[in-house]
Amino acid sequence: MTIENLISRFKETLENSPLDLARNWKIKHPRTKLIGCYPVYSPVELIHAAGMLPVGLIGAGNRLEIAHADSRFQSFICSIVKSTLELGLTEKLKFLDGVVFHSICDPARNLGSVFKRNFPDLMVEYIHFPQNMTSAHTIDYLVAEYKRLTTRYEELSGEKLTKEALKQSIRLYNQQRRLVRELYAIRREAPQNLSTVECYVLTRIGTLLPPEEHISILEEAIPAIRRRNEKPKDRIRVVLEGSFCEQPPIELLEGLEAAGCYILDDDFLLGWRWFPEDIAMEGDPWRNLANAYINQSVYSGVKHDTREPKSKHLIDKVKETGASAVLILAAKFCEPALFDYALYKRALEKAGIPHLCLEFEEKMWIFDKARTEVETFVESMLFD
Ligand code: SF4
Protein backbone atom coordinates (compact mmCIF):
# COMPACT_ATOMS: atom_id res chain seq x y z
CA MET A 1 0.00 0.00 0.00
CA THR A 2 1.35 3.47 -0.85
CA ILE A 3 1.79 5.99 1.91
CA GLU A 4 -0.91 8.14 0.28
CA ASN A 5 -3.40 5.26 0.49
CA LEU A 6 -2.43 4.54 4.07
CA ILE A 7 -2.95 8.16 5.11
CA SER A 8 -6.25 8.36 3.27
CA ARG A 9 -7.50 5.19 5.01
CA PHE A 10 -6.60 6.57 8.44
CA LYS A 11 -8.06 9.97 7.54
CA GLU A 12 -11.42 8.37 6.77
CA THR A 13 -11.46 6.62 10.15
CA LEU A 14 -10.48 9.81 11.98
CA GLU A 15 -13.25 11.73 10.24
CA ASN A 16 -15.95 9.15 10.90
CA SER A 17 -15.16 7.83 14.35
CA PRO A 18 -11.66 8.59 15.66
CA LEU A 19 -11.78 6.11 18.55
CA ASP A 20 -12.44 3.15 16.23
CA LEU A 21 -8.71 2.59 15.82
CA ALA A 22 -8.27 1.96 19.54
CA ARG A 23 -11.62 0.16 19.85
CA ASN A 24 -10.64 -2.28 17.10
CA TRP A 25 -7.24 -2.79 18.66
CA LYS A 26 -8.92 -3.72 21.95
CA ILE A 27 -11.04 -6.36 20.16
CA LYS A 28 -7.83 -8.05 19.04
CA HIS A 29 -6.17 -7.63 22.48
CA PRO A 30 -9.03 -8.10 24.95
CA ARG A 31 -6.77 -8.70 27.93
CA THR A 32 -4.95 -5.36 27.67
CA LYS A 33 -6.48 -2.50 29.61
CA LEU A 34 -6.96 0.85 27.87
CA ILE A 35 -6.85 4.29 29.52
CA GLY A 36 -8.44 7.29 27.81
CA CYS A 37 -6.26 10.39 28.15
CA TYR A 38 -8.16 13.65 27.99
CA PRO A 39 -6.07 16.52 26.58
CA VAL A 40 -3.74 18.16 26.96
CA TYR A 41 -0.81 16.26 28.48
CA SER A 42 -0.76 12.86 30.20
CA PRO A 43 2.35 10.99 31.35
CA VAL A 44 1.54 8.14 28.95
CA GLU A 45 4.74 6.33 29.93
CA LEU A 46 3.23 5.48 33.34
CA ILE A 47 0.21 3.84 31.69
CA HIS A 48 2.32 1.97 29.16
CA ALA A 49 4.81 0.77 31.78
CA ALA A 50 1.92 -0.74 33.75
CA GLY A 51 1.13 -2.93 30.72
CA MET A 52 -1.80 -0.83 29.51
CA LEU A 53 -2.44 1.29 26.41
CA PRO A 54 -2.90 5.07 26.68
CA VAL A 55 -5.51 6.30 24.20
CA GLY A 56 -6.09 9.92 23.23
CA LEU A 57 -9.63 10.84 24.25
CA ILE A 58 -9.60 13.94 22.10
CA GLY A 59 -13.22 14.58 21.24
CA ALA A 60 -15.56 12.84 18.86
CA GLY A 61 -15.22 14.82 15.63
CA ASN A 62 -18.25 16.21 13.83
CA ARG A 63 -20.21 13.02 13.13
CA LEU A 64 -21.54 12.45 16.64
CA GLU A 65 -24.87 13.99 17.48
CA ILE A 66 -24.89 15.61 20.92
CA ALA A 67 -28.24 14.43 22.24
CA HIS A 68 -27.65 13.96 25.99
CA ALA A 69 -24.61 15.95 27.07
CA ASP A 70 -26.10 19.35 26.18
CA SER A 71 -28.50 19.05 29.10
CA ARG A 72 -25.62 18.39 31.54
CA PHE A 73 -23.42 21.37 30.68
CA GLN A 74 -24.08 25.04 30.14
CA SER A 75 -24.38 26.32 26.59
CA PHE A 76 -21.16 28.33 26.94
CA ILE A 77 -18.90 25.28 27.36
CA CYS A 78 -16.54 24.12 24.60
CA SER A 79 -17.57 21.24 22.31
CA ILE A 80 -14.96 18.70 23.39
CA VAL A 81 -16.29 18.57 26.95
CA LYS A 82 -19.78 17.80 25.67
CA SER A 83 -18.72 15.34 22.98
CA THR A 84 -16.56 13.43 25.50
CA LEU A 85 -19.49 13.14 27.88
CA GLU A 86 -21.78 12.16 24.99
CA LEU A 87 -19.39 9.34 24.10
CA GLY A 88 -19.66 8.09 27.66
CA LEU A 89 -23.44 8.47 27.94
CA THR A 90 -23.98 6.60 24.65
CA GLU A 91 -21.73 3.75 25.84
CA LYS A 92 -19.06 4.41 23.22
CA LEU A 93 -16.32 4.36 25.84
CA LYS A 94 -17.12 0.86 27.08
CA PHE A 95 -13.83 -0.38 25.60
CA LEU A 96 -11.89 1.82 28.06
CA ASP A 97 -10.95 0.69 31.56
CA GLY A 98 -10.01 4.10 32.85
CA VAL A 99 -9.78 7.78 31.96
CA VAL A 100 -7.48 10.53 33.14
CA PHE A 101 -8.19 14.26 33.31
CA HIS A 102 -5.98 17.14 34.38
CA SER A 103 -6.09 20.60 35.86
CA ILE A 104 -6.19 22.45 32.53
CA CYS A 105 -9.38 24.49 32.97
CA ASP A 106 -12.67 24.52 34.91
CA PRO A 107 -14.72 22.60 32.27
CA ALA A 108 -12.14 19.76 32.17
CA ARG A 109 -12.03 19.69 35.97
CA ASN A 110 -15.82 19.43 36.12
CA LEU A 111 -15.87 16.79 33.38
CA GLY A 112 -13.60 14.62 35.53
CA SER A 113 -16.11 14.85 38.40
CA VAL A 114 -19.07 14.19 36.10
CA PHE A 115 -17.30 11.07 34.79
CA LYS A 116 -16.63 9.85 38.30
CA ARG A 117 -20.29 10.14 39.23
CA ASN A 118 -21.76 8.75 36.02
CA PHE A 119 -19.40 5.90 35.16
CA PRO A 120 -18.59 3.93 38.31
CA ASP A 121 -17.02 1.07 36.31
CA LEU A 122 -14.29 3.33 34.92
CA MET A 123 -11.19 4.22 36.89
CA VAL A 124 -11.32 8.01 36.72
CA GLU A 125 -8.06 9.72 37.66
CA TYR A 126 -7.26 13.37 37.89
CA ILE A 127 -3.73 14.78 37.79
CA HIS A 128 -3.14 18.01 39.67
CA PHE A 129 -0.27 19.49 37.70
CA PRO A 130 1.75 22.11 39.59
CA GLN A 131 0.61 25.68 39.25
CA ASN A 132 3.91 27.01 40.58
CA MET A 133 6.78 26.01 38.34
CA THR A 134 9.50 27.83 40.28
CA SER A 135 9.06 26.51 43.81
CA ALA A 136 11.89 24.35 45.18
CA HIS A 137 9.24 21.69 45.94
CA THR A 138 7.60 21.52 42.53
CA ILE A 139 9.46 18.49 41.18
CA ASP A 140 9.05 16.56 44.46
CA TYR A 141 5.36 17.36 44.38
CA LEU A 142 4.95 16.08 40.81
CA VAL A 143 6.98 12.95 41.55
CA ALA A 144 4.58 12.26 44.44
CA GLU A 145 1.61 12.79 42.12
CA TYR A 146 3.09 10.38 39.54
CA LYS A 147 3.81 7.81 42.31
CA ARG A 148 0.17 8.07 43.44
CA LEU A 149 -0.90 7.42 39.85
CA THR A 150 1.56 4.52 39.63
CA THR A 151 -0.14 2.79 42.57
CA ARG A 152 -3.55 3.25 41.00
CA TYR A 153 -2.43 1.82 37.66
CA GLU A 154 -0.75 -1.11 39.36
CA GLU A 155 -4.09 -1.87 41.05
CA LEU A 156 -5.94 -1.67 37.73
CA SER A 157 -3.51 -3.65 35.61
CA GLY A 158 -2.54 -6.14 38.28
CA GLU A 159 1.09 -5.63 37.23
CA LYS A 160 3.96 -4.06 39.13
CA LEU A 161 5.13 -0.89 37.44
CA THR A 162 8.88 -1.33 37.73
CA LYS A 163 11.62 1.20 37.31
CA GLU A 164 13.00 -0.78 34.37
CA ALA A 165 9.58 -0.94 32.64
CA LEU A 166 9.16 2.81 33.06
CA LYS A 167 12.58 3.44 31.55
CA GLN A 168 11.68 1.25 28.59
CA SER A 169 8.41 3.16 28.09
CA ILE A 170 10.22 6.50 28.24
CA ARG A 171 12.68 5.18 25.64
CA LEU A 172 9.82 4.12 23.37
CA TYR A 173 7.86 7.38 23.64
CA ASN A 174 11.09 9.36 23.17
CA GLN A 175 11.48 7.51 19.87
CA GLN A 176 7.86 8.19 18.89
CA ARG A 177 8.14 11.90 19.71
CA ARG A 178 11.45 12.11 17.81
CA LEU A 179 9.77 10.75 14.68
CA VAL A 180 6.84 13.14 15.05
CA ARG A 181 9.32 16.01 15.40
CA GLU A 182 10.96 14.79 12.19
CA LEU A 183 7.59 14.88 10.45
CA TYR A 184 7.04 18.44 11.64
CA ALA A 185 10.55 19.40 10.49
CA ILE A 186 9.81 18.08 6.99
CA ARG A 187 6.66 20.17 6.77
CA ARG A 188 8.43 23.26 8.11
CA GLU A 189 11.23 22.95 5.55
CA ALA A 190 9.14 21.97 2.53
CA PRO A 191 5.40 22.30 3.25
CA GLN A 192 4.62 21.51 -0.41
CA ASN A 193 5.81 17.95 0.27
CA LEU A 194 3.66 17.27 3.33
CA SER A 195 0.24 18.81 3.79
CA THR A 196 -0.99 19.77 7.23
CA VAL A 197 -3.77 17.20 6.98
CA GLU A 198 -1.26 14.44 6.24
CA CYS A 199 0.96 15.60 9.08
CA TYR A 200 -2.08 15.72 11.38
CA VAL A 201 -3.34 12.25 10.41
CA LEU A 202 0.09 10.69 10.87
CA THR A 203 0.42 12.31 14.30
CA ARG A 204 -3.14 11.68 15.49
CA ILE A 205 -3.03 7.93 14.85
CA GLY A 206 -0.19 7.82 17.37
CA THR A 207 -2.70 8.77 20.07
CA LEU A 208 -4.84 5.75 19.19
CA LEU A 209 -2.38 2.95 18.49
CA PRO A 210 0.39 1.37 20.57
CA PRO A 211 3.61 3.40 20.21
CA GLU A 212 5.38 0.38 18.68
CA GLU A 213 2.85 0.31 15.79
CA HIS A 214 2.96 4.07 15.37
CA ILE A 215 6.75 4.04 15.23
CA SER A 216 6.80 1.45 12.45
CA ILE A 217 4.18 3.43 10.46
CA LEU A 218 6.27 6.60 10.78
CA GLU A 219 9.48 4.77 9.91
CA GLU A 220 7.84 3.72 6.67
CA ALA A 221 6.11 7.04 5.98
CA ILE A 222 8.99 9.46 6.59
CA PRO A 223 11.39 8.14 3.90
CA ALA A 224 8.50 8.03 1.40
CA ILE A 225 7.60 11.65 2.19
CA ARG A 226 11.26 12.67 1.94
CA ARG A 227 11.31 11.36 -1.64
CA ARG A 228 8.56 13.78 -2.68
CA ASN A 229 9.61 16.77 -4.72
CA GLU A 230 6.56 18.99 -5.23
CA LYS A 231 6.74 22.53 -6.58
CA PRO A 232 5.85 25.18 -3.95
CA LYS A 233 2.57 27.03 -4.55
CA ASP A 234 2.00 30.74 -4.17
CA ARG A 235 0.88 30.66 -0.55
CA ILE A 236 1.66 32.58 2.60
CA ARG A 237 3.56 30.78 5.37
CA VAL A 238 1.94 30.85 8.78
CA VAL A 239 2.24 29.50 12.29
CA LEU A 240 -1.05 28.22 13.69
CA GLU A 241 -1.78 28.58 17.41
CA GLY A 242 -4.69 27.91 19.77
CA SER A 243 -5.81 24.34 18.96
CA PHE A 244 -3.93 22.58 21.75
CA CYS A 245 -6.97 20.84 23.25
CA GLU A 246 -10.16 20.59 21.17
CA GLN A 247 -9.17 19.66 17.62
CA PRO A 248 -10.46 21.41 14.51
CA PRO A 249 -12.25 19.25 11.92
CA ILE A 250 -9.97 17.84 9.22
CA GLU A 251 -12.11 19.54 6.54
CA LEU A 252 -11.34 22.89 8.16
CA LEU A 253 -7.60 22.19 7.97
CA GLU A 254 -7.96 21.29 4.30
CA GLY A 255 -9.84 24.56 3.79
CA LEU A 256 -7.09 26.63 5.44
CA GLU A 257 -4.49 25.24 3.09
CA ALA A 258 -6.72 25.52 0.04
CA ALA A 259 -7.36 29.17 0.97
CA GLY A 260 -3.66 29.86 0.46
CA CYS A 261 -1.70 28.98 3.62
CA TYR A 262 1.26 26.77 4.23
CA ILE A 263 1.15 25.97 7.93
CA LEU A 264 4.76 25.67 9.09
CA ASP A 265 4.00 24.86 12.70
CA ASP A 266 0.92 24.30 14.86
CA ASP A 267 -0.10 23.20 18.34
CA PHE A 268 -2.45 20.35 17.42
CA LEU A 269 -2.28 17.30 19.71
CA LEU A 270 0.16 19.23 21.81
CA GLY A 271 0.21 16.85 24.77
CA TRP A 272 1.51 14.06 22.57
CA ARG A 273 4.34 16.31 21.37
CA TRP A 274 4.98 17.85 24.77
CA PHE A 275 8.77 17.55 24.81
CA PRO A 276 10.99 19.14 22.15
CA GLU A 277 13.87 16.98 23.44
CA ASP A 278 14.16 13.44 24.75
CA ILE A 279 13.33 12.77 28.39
CA ALA A 280 16.50 11.74 30.24
CA MET A 281 17.11 8.01 30.61
CA GLU A 282 19.64 7.99 33.46
CA GLY A 283 18.52 8.12 37.07
CA ASP A 284 15.06 7.84 38.55
CA PRO A 285 12.45 7.69 35.74
CA TRP A 286 9.61 9.20 37.84
CA ARG A 287 11.84 12.18 38.62
CA ASN A 288 12.89 12.41 34.97
CA LEU A 289 9.25 12.53 33.88
CA ALA A 290 8.46 15.21 36.46
CA ASN A 291 11.57 17.21 35.64
CA ALA A 292 10.71 17.06 31.92
CA TYR A 293 7.24 18.49 32.63
CA ILE A 294 8.68 21.37 34.64
CA ASN A 295 11.80 22.16 32.64
CA GLN A 296 11.58 20.65 29.18
CA SER A 297 7.98 20.95 28.02
CA VAL A 298 6.51 23.25 25.39
CA TYR A 299 4.69 26.45 26.31
CA SER A 300 0.95 26.19 26.44
CA GLY A 301 -2.16 28.05 27.52
CA VAL A 302 -2.86 25.26 30.01
CA LYS A 303 0.55 25.32 31.68
CA HIS A 304 1.07 28.06 34.19
CA ASP A 305 4.68 29.01 33.73
CA THR A 306 5.67 32.53 34.66
CA ARG A 307 9.36 32.12 33.79
CA GLU A 308 8.90 33.33 30.20
CA PRO A 309 5.92 34.99 28.56
CA LYS A 310 4.04 32.72 26.14
CA SER A 311 3.88 35.51 23.59
CA LYS A 312 7.69 35.55 23.45
CA HIS A 313 7.62 31.84 22.56
CA LEU A 314 5.08 32.47 19.82
CA ILE A 315 7.10 35.33 18.33
CA ASP A 316 10.26 33.17 18.50
CA LYS A 317 8.43 30.37 16.71
CA VAL A 318 7.41 32.75 13.92
CA LYS A 319 11.00 33.90 13.52
CA GLU A 320 12.52 30.41 13.69
CA THR A 321 10.14 28.95 11.10
CA GLY A 322 10.37 31.93 8.76
CA ALA A 323 6.59 32.37 8.80
CA SER A 324 5.16 35.72 7.78
CA ALA A 325 1.90 35.57 9.76
CA VAL A 326 0.03 33.85 12.58
CA LEU A 327 -3.31 32.12 12.41
CA ILE A 328 -4.98 31.90 15.79
CA LEU A 329 -7.43 29.00 15.59
CA ALA A 330 -9.12 28.77 18.96
CA ALA A 331 -11.95 26.49 20.06
CA LYS A 332 -15.16 28.38 20.77
CA PHE A 333 -15.55 29.02 24.54
CA CYS A 334 -12.00 27.79 25.24
CA GLU A 335 -10.96 30.17 28.02
CA PRO A 336 -7.23 29.29 28.06
CA ALA A 337 -6.94 29.85 24.30
CA LEU A 338 -8.98 33.03 24.27
CA PHE A 339 -7.16 34.49 27.29
CA ASP A 340 -3.89 33.78 25.49
CA TYR A 341 -5.18 35.54 22.41
CA ALA A 342 -5.42 38.82 24.34
CA LEU A 343 -1.68 38.53 25.10
CA TYR A 344 -0.71 37.29 21.66
CA LYS A 345 -2.60 40.05 19.87
CA ARG A 346 -0.71 42.78 21.70
CA ALA A 347 2.67 41.09 21.20
CA LEU A 348 2.09 40.33 17.50
CA GLU A 349 1.00 43.90 16.80
CA LYS A 350 4.06 45.22 18.60
CA ALA A 351 6.33 42.89 16.57
CA GLY A 352 4.58 43.89 13.32
CA ILE A 353 3.46 40.32 12.58
CA PRO A 354 0.06 40.12 10.85
CA HIS A 355 -2.47 37.70 12.31
CA LEU A 356 -5.98 36.43 11.85
CA CYS A 357 -8.10 34.99 14.67
CA LEU A 358 -10.75 32.37 13.91
CA GLU A 359 -12.91 30.32 16.24
CA PHE A 360 -13.94 26.76 15.49
CA GLU A 361 -15.90 23.90 17.03
CA GLU A 362 -15.05 20.26 16.50
CA LYS A 363 -18.70 19.67 15.59
CA MET A 364 -18.78 22.35 12.84
CA TRP A 365 -19.88 21.30 9.37
CA ILE A 366 -19.81 24.47 7.34
CA PHE A 367 -16.45 25.96 6.52
CA ASP A 368 -17.26 28.60 3.88
CA LYS A 369 -17.10 31.54 6.27
CA ALA A 370 -13.72 30.50 7.73
CA ARG A 371 -12.34 29.85 4.27
CA THR A 372 -13.48 33.24 2.96
CA GLU A 373 -11.89 35.01 5.93
CA VAL A 374 -8.59 33.19 5.36
CA GLU A 375 -8.70 33.90 1.60
CA THR A 376 -9.21 37.60 2.29
CA PHE A 377 -6.34 37.57 4.80
CA VAL A 378 -4.05 35.75 2.35
CA GLU A 379 -4.90 38.16 -0.49
CA SER A 380 -4.25 41.13 1.76
CA MET A 381 -0.75 39.76 2.36
CA LEU A 382 0.07 38.53 -1.13
CA PHE A 383 -1.03 41.73 -2.84
CA ASP A 384 0.06 44.19 -0.19
S1 SF4 B 1 -11.06 23.26 24.75
FE2 SF4 B 1 -10.28 24.75 26.22
S3 SF4 B 1 -11.95 25.10 27.65
FE4 SF4 B 1 -12.39 23.19 26.57
S5 SF4 B 1 -11.57 21.59 27.86
FE6 SF4 B 1 -9.99 22.15 26.40
S7 SF4 B 1 -8.73 23.71 27.42
FE8 SF4 B 1 -10.65 23.51 28.55
Of residues 357, 263, 364, the one with CA closest to residue 59: 364
Q: Is the pTM for the entire model greater than 0.75? A: yes
Share of the chain above pLDDT 70, in %: 100
Q: What was the pLDDT predicted at 62?
A: 87
Ligand 1, atom nearest to 335 Cα: 3
Q: Is ligand 1 within 6 A of the CB of residue 242?
A: no
Answer yes or no: is pLDDT of 384 > 80: no
Question: In this structure, is the dihedral angle defined by the CA atoms of residues 74, 110, 94 and 79, taken in order, positive or negative?
Answer: positive
Is 180:203 a contact under the CB 8 Å cutoff? yes
Is 65:311 a contact under the CB 8 Å cutoff? no
Q: How confident is the model at residue 63 (pLDDT cuts 50, 70, 90)?
A: confident
Q: How far is the CA of 201 from the centre of ligand 1 (A)?
A: 21
Q: What was the pLDDT predicted at 50?
A: 97
**Substitution candidate for ligand 1 out of 101, 113, 245 with most atoms within 8 A of CB:** 245
Q: How far is the CA of 331 from the centre of ligand 1 (A)?
A: 8
Is 209:25 a contact under the CB 8 Å cutoff? yes
Ligand 1, atom nearest to 39 Cα: 6
Q: What was the pLDDT predicted at 29?
A: 96
Reported as a single tens digit per residue, the pLDDT across 342-373 is: 999 999 999 999 999 999 999 888 899 999 99
Of residues 303, 273, 47, 17, the one with CA closest to residue 157: 47
Ligand 1 atom 8, closest CA: 105
Q: How confident is the model at residue 102 (pLDDT cuts 50, 70, 90)?
A: very high
Q: Is 349 exposed, middle or buried (0-12, 13-18, 19+ CB in 10 A)?
A: exposed
Largest CA distance in the chain: 63
Reported as a single tens digit per residue, the pLDDT across 34-47 is: 999 999 999 999 99
Per-residue pLDDT, averaged over 185-204, amounts to: 98
SS3 annotation, the chain: CCHHHHHHHHHHHHHHCCCHHHHHHHHHCCCCCEEEECCCCCCHHHHHHCCCEEEECCCCCCCCCCCCHHHCCCCCCCHHHHHHHHHHHCCCCCCCCEEEEECCCHHHHHHHHHHHHHCCCCEEEEECCCCCCCCCCHHHHHHHHHHHHHHHHHHHHCCCCCHHHHHHHHHHHHHHHHHHHHHHHHHHHCHHHCCHHHHHHHHHHHHCCCHHHHHHHHHHHHHHHHCCCCCCCCCEEEEEECCCCCCCCHHHHHHHHHCCEEEEECCCCHHHHCCCCCCCCCCCHHHHHHHHHHHCCCCCCCCCCCCCCHHHHHHHHHHHHCCCEEEEEEECCCHHHHHHHHHHHHHHHHHCCCEEEEEECCCCCCCHHHHHHHHHHHHHHHCC
Q: What was the pLDDT predicted at 64?
A: 87
Per-residue pLDDT, averaged over 17-27, amounts to: 95
Answer yes or no: is pLDDT of 251 > 90: yes
Answer yes or no: is pLDDT of 1 > 90: no
Torsion of CA 256, 6, 365, 58, to 10 degrees: -90
The residue ranking higher by pLDDT, 1 or 176, is: 176
Reported as a single tens digit per residue, the pLDDT across 120-173 is: 999 999 999 998 999 999 999 999 999 999 999 999 999 999 999 999 999 999
**Substitution candidate for ligand 1 out of 42, 73, 79, 80 with most atoms within 8 A of CB:** 80
Q: How far is the CA of 231 from the centre of ligand 1 (A)?
A: 38
- Residues 310 and 167: their CA atoms lie apart, in Å, by 31
Q: Is ligand 1 within 6 A of the CB of residue 108?
A: yes
**Substitution candidate for ligand 1 out of 40, 78, 114, 364 with most atoms within 8 A of CB:** 78
Reported as a single tens digit per residue, the pLDDT across 259-318 is: 999 999 999 999 999 999 999 999 999 999 999 999 999 999 999 898 988 999 999 999
